[in-house]
Amino acid sequence: MKFFLTLCFGLMGLAFADEMGTSMVQAYSVLGAVVGLGIAALGGAIGMGHTAAATISGTARNPGIGGKLFTTMFIALAMIEAQVIYTLVFAAIALYGNPFLG
């Protein structure tokens, strides 16, 4: 139920786009940016959780290699977070520098 309520409120911008003085391209750009950023953040959070769980499990099995695992984990976390930041940049381009508006 919460999903449908959120979806209805999220799509109100599309329904009233003409009355607010915005075009449908701008409304779809906002929708695409929000959905894309949400999916990227969700995927990044899942990836970071799996990375941390694997590192903790590896350190519990072999405590002597913990330092090496943590270094590798931080590099992996930086790469995962970079993908989310790239999506944020593309969302900002879709919102503010929209090439479809002319």
Per-residue model confidence (pLDDT) at position 73: 94
Dump the DSSP string for 3-70.
HHHHHHHHTHHHHTTTTTT--HHHHHHHHHHHHHHHHHHHHHHHHHHHHHHHHHHHHHH-GGGHHHHH
Fold that domain 29-102 belongs to in CATH: F1FO ATP Synthase (1.20.20)
pLDDT of residue 2: 72
Q: Mean pLDDT per 10-residue run, the chain (102 residues)?
A: 71 62 73 86 94 94 91 94 91 77 62
Q: Give the model's pLDDT for residue 74.
A: 94
pLDDT of residue 36: 87
Specify the pLDDT at position 99: 66
